[in-house]
Amino acid sequence: MNHKTHLKADERVARIFIWTGIIIAALLVALGGFTGRVGFRYRSASVGMISNNIKADHHYSDAGLHIVEGWVMTPSECYETRASARVAESYPEQVVLEVSVRQLLQSESCAQGATGIPFKVSFRASSEARIHATLNGRPAKLTLTERQGSLVPLGSPLDLKIREERFVGNTKVRFDAVESDSRCPTDGGVACIQAGEAKLIFTVGGKPVRLSFPGGKTSASIGSHVLKVLELQPAAYAGDVADDIQYRATVQLESSR
């Protein structure tokens, strides 16, 4: 009797160990699959899958600040770029833009087709600096388009025409459009109950900003910066409305810190 009881107890213990092992193995497999999906969201892009040509705009200020803003052509939009600059201490400085491209894991929303994936990098060096580039660790063909006079110190007034863009410090500011203009005309003896306002659209650091002038919302915070509208020309007048290409906004981008 005792012998049979011990056998049954041993069988129960064995079953418990077997089922425990099965459960642990299943959990490890599931955890491994989860880690594979979440922990590795990217994979290195094959050099043959992307163009070795890098095209970019080069901005330079007298203060020694360089900004390179460009793109790398990839076979789809499911890629992202990272960029940094390595400046060698020589004269003229030898600057290497180290651009890397990695592919996002495929998803149903990934549109296929040649796509320019943007990057931006800034560094300080003299105006004589020689700029080269690597792509995923290999030498790349870099084509720079010089944008002279496009950098403005932070806090300085800046005049922009419609669709014109400039860098203020390290941030790009673009005057996109005049959405509407209900300002009271300054000529013709027109009497207005209200002064009215012009509604303006800007892009600051890639983010859309809507402001108005002269009343209403004339400033807005964007991250660590504040954009203010100081003036809008031409002034409103009683004749035909000026074509938007004639508008010129005077703005100021300041640090909010």
Q: What is the CATH number of the domain that holds 199?
A: 2.60.98
239, pLDDT greater than 70 = no
Which of 63 and 115 is assigned the larger pLDDT?
A: 115
Please check whether residues 132 and 190 belong to one and the same domain.
no
Q: Which of 86, 115, 147 is the last residue of a domain?
A: 147
211 falls in which pLDDT band (50, 70, 90)?
A: very high
Residue type (1 letter), 40: F
Q: What is the predicted pLDDT for the residue at 184?
A: 83
Range of the domain at 13: 1-40
Quote the pTM value: 0.58
pLDDT score of 40: 35
To 5 degrees, how large is the angle CA 201–CA 165–CA 144? 150
Q: What single DSSP character describes residue 90?
A: S
Q: How confident is the model at residue 191 (pLDDT cuts 50, 70, 90)?
A: confident
- In sign, the C-alpha dihedral spanning 237, 241, 247, 253 is positive
Q: What is the chain's mean pLDDT, rounded? A: 80
Q: Are residues 60 and 4 in the same domain?
A: no
Output the pLDDT for position 98: 96
Write out pLDDT tens, residues 64-104: 889 999 989 888 888 899 999 999 988 899 999 999 998 88
- Give the total number of structural domains in the chain: 3
Are 161 and 191 within one domain?
A: yes
Residues 6+ apart with CB under 8 A from 34: none
Whether 72 contacts 81, CB under 8 Å: yes
- Considering the domain architecture, whether residues 129 and 57 belong to the same structural domain is answered as yes
Asked if residue 110 and residue 170 are part of one domain, the reply reads: no
pLDDT digits (tens, 9 = 90+) for 117-140: 899 999 999 989 999 999 999 999
Give yes or no: residues 32 and 88 share one domain. Answer: no
244 shares its domain with 160: yes
210, 233: one domain: yes
Cα–Cα distance between 121 and 60 in angstroms, integer? 12
- pLDDT above 70 covers a percentage of the chain that reads 73
Quote the tokens at residue 93: 């400085």
- Please indicate, yes or no, whether residues 162 and 108 belong to a single structural domain of this protein: no
pLDDT exceeds 70 at position 218: yes
Instruction: Indicate whether 126 and 216 sit together in one domain.
Output: no
From 171, 164, 154, select the one nearest 223 (Cα to Cα). Answer: 171
Same domain flag for 134 and 161: no
